[in-house]
Structure 1
Amino acid sequence: MKICYFAFGESYHTIRWCNHFSSLGYEVHLITFAHVSKDDYPNIHLHIVNSGNVKVSGGNWHLLTHFRKIKRLVRQINPDIFHALYATSYGVTGALVGHENYIITALGSDLLVSVRNSFLYKKAIQFAFRKAKWITVMSPEMRDVAQEIGTNMSKVSIVPFGINPDVFNSNSRALMADEFVITSTRNLEQIYNIPHLLNALALIKDKVPNLRVNIMGSGSLQEKLEDLNTKLNLSKQVTFWGKVNQFQIAETLNQSHVFVSVSQSDGNNISLNEAMACGAFCIATDIPANRQWIQDGENGFLVQINDVEGLANRILEVYSNYETLQGKAIPFNKKIIEEKGIWTKNMKVIEQKYLEMINH
């Protein structure tokens, strides 16, 4: 089987998908508008299309003008499967190619934000979904949005990505007795709402004298967030790590008491799954993507978006009752991750669909 992905090459998701299916013995190609490192794609056939600046924040309508180049490349590659990751820029452009076995995977904000905020994006995604033979989404909320815009639901499947349990597990869990450690592994972009976390930390820093905080991730707001951190007098407590690899994230989560995700929107929140698997107590915003993993008060806490005081109070509650809360949360989290959060199990669904499509 020959698979061609059409996706943002700098994305961890793209790297993960390409290398997984290559490891299964399939011939994998990647067409991307991003300048990528061959080190990330050791056995992948790379096809980089120069398209000028591509903004992570969206609004990349100019990419549509390159669809003829993409069409020529796809014709040359002649893949059995042509699969776009992300429904807007790549998904819409890929829909213009007209491949027989075209698949779109929506990742989150492409459906949950773009469709709701822009009539043009809504129409573009409606067009792309009509052209796709199969569509995967990561949560029931994303499925509901696909239905709201008139998608043929027989083509839509919920397939969360999940974690690699060989990397993300609690086998090496070790907490420092003289520190209370909080970690965030979300990127430094507006949707992940890191100022919410920093403002909450400012409210509790004097009440948790041994507080240490890891902000692991990169993004366009790093300088502004570091300035805010200084303004809030959090420099002694908070460390900005920048972009780190999966092994560093897993190691840090295993040394963390609490994981916090205050994203305003998410498709699935794999970062949350990773923290659950590593045994950190999880606090996340009360959005559908997190409700499918956390039952408030059972295996974590859910907080309202932008409720800084509410987040601060929940962190203090965990600090005061850590062992009791973890006694309930850890077995719950192990069970739910095993049932629906394992990457290889979920990718088996994708592989079986690929084979079904080409055999049909």
Structure 2
Amino acid sequence: MAKKRILFLGETYRADAITWMNGLKEFGDFEIVTWELKKSSVGVSRLRRLFELFLTFFKIKKMTQSYKADMVIAERTTSYGFLAALTGIRPVAIAQQGITDLWPHHSPLYPFKKMLQDYAFKKADLIHAWGKVMSDHMEKSKVDMTKVMELPKGINLENFTFSETQNLKSIEAVVTRSLEPEYKHEVILKAFAEIKKKNIPFTLRIIGGGSMMKSLQKLAIDLDIQDQVIFKGRTPNTRVAELLQKSNFYISMPTTEGVSASLFEAMACGCFPIVTDLPGNRSWINNHENGILIPNGNDKILAQEIIEAFERDIWRKAVVERNRKFVEENANYIINMKKIAAAYHELITLKSKAN
């Protein structure tokens, strides 16, 4: 029997997308074909990006005819999710990335993006909520909740193995978010400048690429912490796991967030998580119980909390051990992707019978 074919619409270089597609191949025996918008130059406005999306509307039917897919899946409800709904391929599964799908709220494009999202929600046969914060948003948006599957993709626990690093004599911190403005790396750099003033030894490894690379490197020099900060650039996921296993702290300070697989990866590897106090993070982190939540943009509090947590190594050891067990129970890639793949096969079967 020929493999069922899925068309994936989205940015194929992203770790989340790779996890999604690989899981479907491995546990659903699907063949995956991909399509994504051409990369825009750095600094292209959101309006220009939406214009590019609009031009794609006119060729979407022709584009999809050549793929002969049994199903289409897409990330981000306001762009690829909307395009998936237009392809004419059924069934359609879309994933809401979180609050960032409709962001910022004060944007003049917000009503237009909301219209695209509502259409995608209406036409989708299955809507992924990678966490509760996404389900809550959908419920407020009057989405048919019978179509919603609340389940993270999970992470490969064979790759992201636990490492005991809580007895290190220095702060070995890692950041794995893209170097884009919304991830607020400057807050982290300023916090570590405060830590340096206390004469506490540290190394800060920043993994990932992005438009902010040069400005952040300059900021590190201006703060006189360039010798302790290592910019790793884009890094293969296997290497990310190795760097997490060498670290005792995971830091993430975005301004808005859905559910981050990188948080699960860090928790699985034994990093103590310190993240922004946001709804998505609150779903997984209880402040001062299994990690620390930081008020948005507050580098002084971030520095203070890192120092205090570093000094409590026995407590941190107990926390990271519990976190590993939590990830095994709630974000196991093998278990969760088997469920997702089975749901897709069921949808395809139901649609074929209906036709």
Assess same fold via TM > 0.5: yes
Q: Which of these residues, 80, 91, 96, is aligned with residue 101 of structure 1?
A: 91
**TM alignment of 1:127-138, pairs within 5 A:** 127-138=119-130
State the alpha-carbon separation in 2 of the partners of residues 57 and 237 from structure 1: 34
**Equivalent in the alignment of 1:143:** 135
Map of 2:278 onto structure 1: 287
Offset, 1:200: 0.9
User: Which residue among 72, 75, 83 is the counterpart of 1:85?
Assistant: 75
Shift of 1:3: 1.2
In structure 1, C-alpha distance between the alignment counterparts of 2:106 and 2:128, rounded to whole Å:
19
> Following TM superposition, by how much is the alpha carbon of 1:192 offset from its aligned partner in structure 2, in angstroms?
0.8
Matches within 5 A, 1:198-277: 198-277=189-268
Segments of 5+ residues of structure 1 without an aligned counterpart are: 36-51
Do the aligned partners of 1:3 and 1:29 also contact (CA within 8 Å) in 2? yes
CA displacement 1:138-184 (0-9 Å, x = unmatched): 122212222222322221221212211111111x5457845321111
Q: What's the CA shift for 1:356? A: 1.2
* Structure-to-structure mapping, 1:1-360, within 5 angstroms: 1-24=4-27, 25-34=29-38, 58-59=46-47, 60-61=49-50, 62-111=52-101, 113=103, 117=107, 118-170=110-162, 172-173=163-164, 177-327=168-318, 329-360=319-350
CA contact (8 A) 1:98 1:131 kept: no
Distance 1:80 1:27 in 2: 10
Any stretches of 5+ residues in structure 2 without a counterpart? 351-355
Q: Is the 8 A contact 1:9 1:34 kept in 2?
A: no
Compute the displacement of 1:112 (Å).
5.5
Q: 1:64 to 1:349 in 2, by over 3 A?
A: farther
Question: Contact conserved, 1:64 with 1:93, CA < 8 A, in 2?
Answer: no
Residue by residue over 1:67-87, the C-alpha shift from the partner in whole angstroms, topping out at 9 and shown as x without a partner, is 343322323322211111221
Partner amino acid, structure 2, of 1:149: S
Q: Which has the higher contact order (CA 8 A, sep 6+)?
A: 2
RMSD between aligned residues: 2.2
Partner deviation per Cα, 1:238-285 (whole Å, 9 max, x = no partner):
111111111221111111121111111221111111110011111111
Please tell me whether the aligned partners of residues 8 and 34 of structure 1 are also in contact (alpha carbons under 8 angstroms): no
Change (3 A) 1:149 1:56: farther
The structure-2 alpha-carbon separation of the partners of 1:352 and 1:343, relative to structure 1 and needing over 3 Å to count, comes to: same
- Look up the SS of the partner of 1:122 in the other structure: helix
- Counterpart CA distance in 2 for 1:3 and 1:115 is 33
Q: Residues 344 and 56 (structure 1 numbering): CA distance in 2 closer, same or farther, change over 3 Å?
A: farther
- Give me the whole-angstrom Cα distance separating, in 2, the residues matched to 1:153 and 1:115: 24
Residues 112, 267 of structure 1: 8 Å contact kept = no
Paired residue for 1:39? none
Q: Secondary structure at the match of 1:5?
A: strand
Stretch deviating more after TM superposition (203-212 or 64-73): 64-73
Calculate the TM-score normalised by the size of structure 1: 0.88
Residue 100 of structure 2 contacts residue 257 of structure 2 at CA under 8 Å; is this kept in 1?
no
Percent of paired sites with the same residue: 31
CA contact (8 A) 2:157 2:328 kept: no
Tell me, in whole angstroms, the C-alpha distance in 2 between the residues paired with 1:326 and 1:133. Answer: 44
- Relative to the length of structure 2, the TM-score reads 0.89
Q: Distance in 2 between matches of 1:253 and 1:27?
A: 31
Task: Provide the rounded CA distance (Å) in 2 between the counterparts of 1:16 and 1:320.
Answer: 36
TM-fit CA distance, 1:111: 3.2
Count of paired positions:
342
